[in-house]
Amino acid sequence: MSFFIKSYPLARPALFALDPETAHELTLNSLQKAYNCQFSRQLLQQQPSLPSTLCGLPLKNPVGLAAGMDKNGAYIDALGNLGFGFIEAGTVTPLSQDGNPKPRMFRLVRSQALINRLGFNNDGLQTFIANVQKSRYREAGGVLGLNIGKNAATPIAGAINDYLLGLEGVYPHADYVTINISSPNTENLRQLQNDSELANLLGHLQEARKRLSDEHSKRVPLLVKIAPDLSREQIDAIADCLPKFEIDGVIATNTTIDRQAVANHHHAHQSGGLSGAPLHEMTLPIIEQLRKRLGSSFAIIGVGGIMRGQHAAEKIAAGANAVQLYTGLVYQGPSLVADCVSAMASSQKAAQAS
């Protein structure tokens, strides 16, 4: 691992002096500039190896980048250079939208957490697809997931059409597609996780995928991203629903609206989704429950609160096939990718030895 990968803690104080959204944009733009220069690209490059599979897709390692970091698919190659086994871009909506008013991101440094209420801010499906087509990540052996959602202005009763438009647009360019029905920042979106509404949505998507599979001569896996704020009964109901509609995997989980873990923080009153360290322990029993309900062959991606390698290994031990990072990168930097792969490899060896 290069010095430049390890040196993120030196840059973090300067980034944390900025507004979180400004720091996010500056980091991505700087990363892209470094990637555009061959010399600095090599200094930032890492590719920790731990071959595995996800939904039948071969991964160089099972550590991915979660959706939200690159909403417009504009930085796929630069982010891929940091060693992820797979990248998920989006969430993209059919039409461009500004998202919620600023400020809409807040750091809870003491808790190693973030609160965001971005609201699917993105440049729309056509720009997203154009950016994805420019990337070379898949040609280099990377696995690319594309995450789709609904526009804020679309009534929840019309949400299915937005998801169908998204699936139609991204299908030829994706290794897998994620259906995001769990963001807390689009009004009423989470009600799509309810039994009848979920079945209705997934039924339409199942039919659309059958048609697209014939049209493009390939079957692209579909995954559903769920919230961490569901009851055990709701999780079981979702788990029972997914195989009925040939869904290939579940991502557990999105951000939480629960503030118990950060109740004393001065930003705790901010609306939006909480991510970061408080989510790790919250997601483990959800992953365990999903694995028990769905069986050994169903794909589960564990997300939430991975701040060090051991957390990734614990997600796998709970039943996940792979993990995704986001807020941990904000606090730990890109060295977290290799740390996670190393910890997962060590756990794998220990399990084999026993």
d(CA 14, CA 16): 5
Residue 276 falls in which region: left (phi positive, over 0), alpha (psi -120 to 50) or beta: left
Torsion angle in degrees (nearest 10) through CA of 232, 233, 235, 241: 160
Q: 299 near 224, Cβ under 8 Å?
A: no
Q: Which of 135, 182, 183, 335 is catalytic?
A: 183
Q: Which two tokens stand for residue 136?
A: 């070379």
135 in active site: no
User: 3-state DSSP call for residue 146?
Assistant: strand
Reduced to 3 states, what is the DSSP secondary structure of residue 140?
coil
Counting runs of H as helices and runs of E as strands, what totals does the chain give? 13, 13
CA distance 253 to 177: 16
CA distances from 299 to 169, 194, 246 (A): 24, 21, 12
Inter-residue contact 222 to 180 (CB < 8 Å): no
Active site residue ranges: 183
